[in-house]
Structure 1
Amino acid sequence: MTTAGVTRYTALRSVAGRMPLSGAIASSCSLPLSAALPCHDRGDCRTRRLPVLLLTLLFLLCASTAYASAPSLADLPLPELKARLTTRYGGQQPAQWGPALPGTLTRLPVSGTSGAPKTGPVTVALTFDACGGGYDGSIIALLRELGVPATLFLAGPWLAAHPAEAADLAADPLFEIANHGARHRPASVTGRVAYGIRGTRSVSEFVDEVESNARRLAALAGVRPRFYRAATLFCDEVAVRIAADLGQTVAGCSVAADAGATLPAPAVARNLLAARNGDILLLHMNKPKAGSGAGLRAALPELLRRGVRFVRLSDVVESAGAR
């Protein structure tokens, strides 16, 4: 070994002996490859100072250390986040549009989802959208009275109109707070329309729709929401991928129990009573004059009598991880 090689080797051993493993790894990662793989004086590089296995382990540790220190997208300032994701997705043209694209959660991952479970009770998730407008407090009162958990998707217009009610819901562990968008728009990167509502018109606008409301809800509830539901449920596939990058699992439903708060109470009750194992049930809590609340009151005690198990989405679903 050359004199220079001995000097580097001795220095590395000395540093590693005085610092934690992570520090030693960082130091060794900064050395040039020639320091880690020195050759004999005569130029024969077949004999290396470090075994190949050790070098491989060192490389993997360096890579994992660098990855762990990389900031999450969700930690970036919103303008920088929008710029970065526009660079990543701005050239992609979506080819799909609908309420149940790949990557969208429409059923719970429980056994026996085609009907009755193989073992245990029927498991379903009650989810409620608060798009804007009013507040049907009778729904929340009923859920609290019966101890039934639910996932609540809150949109920016509703949050602005009902700050006290939003804070009350976020403080109640019976409920999971989820994201329904800053302006309640369909999830598009090209401005597509669903049910007369124009979707977000670009990657940047969609990122703002999801992330600005996610940050508002995180400040309200003390934790980032894990699930996002687009207005009207409609998404394109680019938006679904962007939401996943932001740590948001796009949530649809298997049963639109109140059909956008347009059904009378008896029809809502029938839809709820027909629930099967694994169903994600969608109702609305922002229209107190609709049949949603009365239909829920008619059906919920009977479902509980049958032994149906109600869960929040996060109780049974792994969400997307922010990258």
Structure 2
Amino acid sequence: MIIRVRQAAAVCALGAALTACGAPAAPHAARPAPSATSAVPSAPPTLAPGPAGVTPVFKNGPRTLGKVVALTFDADMTADQGARAAAGERFDNPRLIADLRALKVPATVFMTGRWAEEYPVQARSIGRDPLFEVANHSYSHYAFTSDCYGLPTVSADRMRADVERAYAAFRKAGVPDAMPYFRFPGGCYDRAALKALTPTGVTAVQWDVVSGDAFATDADAVARQVLDGVRPGSVVVMHCTRSAAPATERAVRTIVPELRKQGYRFVKVSELIGDARARR
């Protein structure tokens, strides 16, 4: 999901220029069955369904459990961007992933299924690296509401299939354990969308810190925005798309050491969700 800050309190804004950057019902059930002698792996933490059983929404972790922060990166590519990729536009950012590895920063990558199809080697590398976890950002990167910054929309009767198709693309690329977390394209959702995704068993993951890296060229400004916004338990939304977020890699090289200097520890979204669930 490509976002841009409109004002200090903005949640997100999708750049209109980027409209052109099936799993089983319980995605984690696709994990390989343990052998008779191995320990049964624990399921990834999820939140309990919301009122009337709709998909729960997670925004940030507890504020009282120490200085932890989750950096999340949206690997965006919409279903109709194949021609642009074929013409040379890059929707990946391998140097950013390399920096996260060099800095030993755990992170959650919200990946579209179309991105995994375009970059299967990278998807597999990220998905098999214990430093990272792969989560679902839809297959198509089309909006799940009717008014979402100019994105094409997914009809309500196709929402579940779009999410499941992304999990299928991850498995085909060789990602063994994609997490049961979903980020709405554009961050746009309503009750109908939450209800449509209930059968998938996912927890919807939003954020409380917008990095402003979408289409940004000033890495220092992106870093300042993140550093000014982070609080204990924060979820920061950034992007893993070179063409649409060219300053992210440089910003991360400032953000990580500064937050560590302030005493923060980097975690994956799954750890924050586990903390939140334990507090309920």
**What is the TM-score when the length of structure 2 is the normalising length?**
0.69
Q: Equivalent of 1:128, from 35, 57, 73?
A: 73
SS of corresponding position for 1:172: coil
Percent identity, aligned pairs only?
Answer: 28
Classify 1:141/1:230 alpha carbon distance in 2 versus 1 (closer, same or farther; 3 Å). same
Contact 2:112 2:140 in 1 (8 A): yes
Q: Larger RCO: Structure 1 or Structure 2 (Cα < 8 Å, ≥ 6 residues apart)? A: 2
2:219 is aligned with 1:265: yes
Contact 1:156 1:180 in 2 (8 A): yes
d(CA) in 2 for partners of 1:151 and 1:74? 19
d(CA) in 2 for partners of 1:74 and 1:315? 19
d(CA) in 2 for partners of 1:232 and 1:179? 13
Contact 1:149 1:175 in 2 (8 A): yes
- Who is 2:253 aligned against? 297
Give the residue type in structure 2 aligned to 1:156: G
d(CA) in 1 for partners of 2:148 and 2:154? 11
Q: CA deviation at 1:223?
A: 2.2
Deviations 1:173-229 (A, max 9, x none): 0000000111011224xxx131100221222x1111111112332453222421111
Q: Equivalent of 1:313, from 244, 269, 272?
A: 269
- Who is 1:171 aligned against? 128
- Who is 2:108 aligned against? 151
SS of corresponding position for 1:193: coil
Contact 1:272 1:296 in 2 (8 A): no
- Who is 1:210 aligned against? 163
2:36 is aligned with 1:104: no
Equivalent pairs, count:
212
Q: Equivalent of 1:279, from 230, 234, 243?
A: 234
SS of corresponding position for 2:179: coil
2:146 is aligned with 1:201: no
Contact 1:128 1:152 in 2 (8 A): yes
Q: Unaligned regions of 5+ residues in structure 2, if any?
A: 1-23, 28-53, 78-89
- Who is 1:57 aligned against? none
Matches within 5 A, 1:1-323: 73-74=25-26, 103-108=56-61, 110-112=62-64, 120=66, 122-132=67-77, 133-188=90-145, 192-203=146-157, 205-219=158-172, 220-262=174-216, 264-274=218-228, 275-287=230-242, 290-318=246-274
Q: CA deviation at 1:316?
A: 2.6
d(CA) in 2 for partners of 1:296 and 1:111? 23
d(CA) in 1 for partners of 2:222 and 2:178? 31
d(CA) in 2 for partners of 1:218 and 1:106? 27
Contact 2:216 2:222 in 1 (8 A): no
Q: CA deviation at 1:157?
A: 2.3
Q: CA deviation at 1:255?
A: 1.2
Structure 1 segments of 4 or more deviating over 3 A? 72-75
SS of corresponding position for 2:110: strand
d(CA) in 1 for partners of 2:26 and 2:168? 9
Deviations 1:77-119 (A, max 9, x none): xxxxxxxxxxxxxxxxxxxxxxxx99321111x243xxxx6xx
SS of corresponding position for 1:194: coil
- Who is 2:80 aligned against? none
Classify 1:247/1:218 alpha carbon distance in 2 versus 1 (closer, same or farther; 3 Å). farther
Contact 1:142 1:297 in 2 (8 A): yes
**What is the TM-score when the length of structure 1 is the normalising length?**
0.60
Give the residue type in structure 2 aligned to 1:250: A
Give the residue type in structure 2 aligned to 1:196: G
SS of corresponding position for 1:317: helix
Compute the RMSD of aligned alpha carbons. Answer: 2.4
Q: CA deviation at 1:264?
A: 2.0
Report which of the two structures shows the higher radius of gyration computed on alpha carbons. Answer: 1
d(CA) in 2 for partners of 1:156 and 1:253? 21
d(CA) in 1 for partners of 2:26 and 2:188? 23
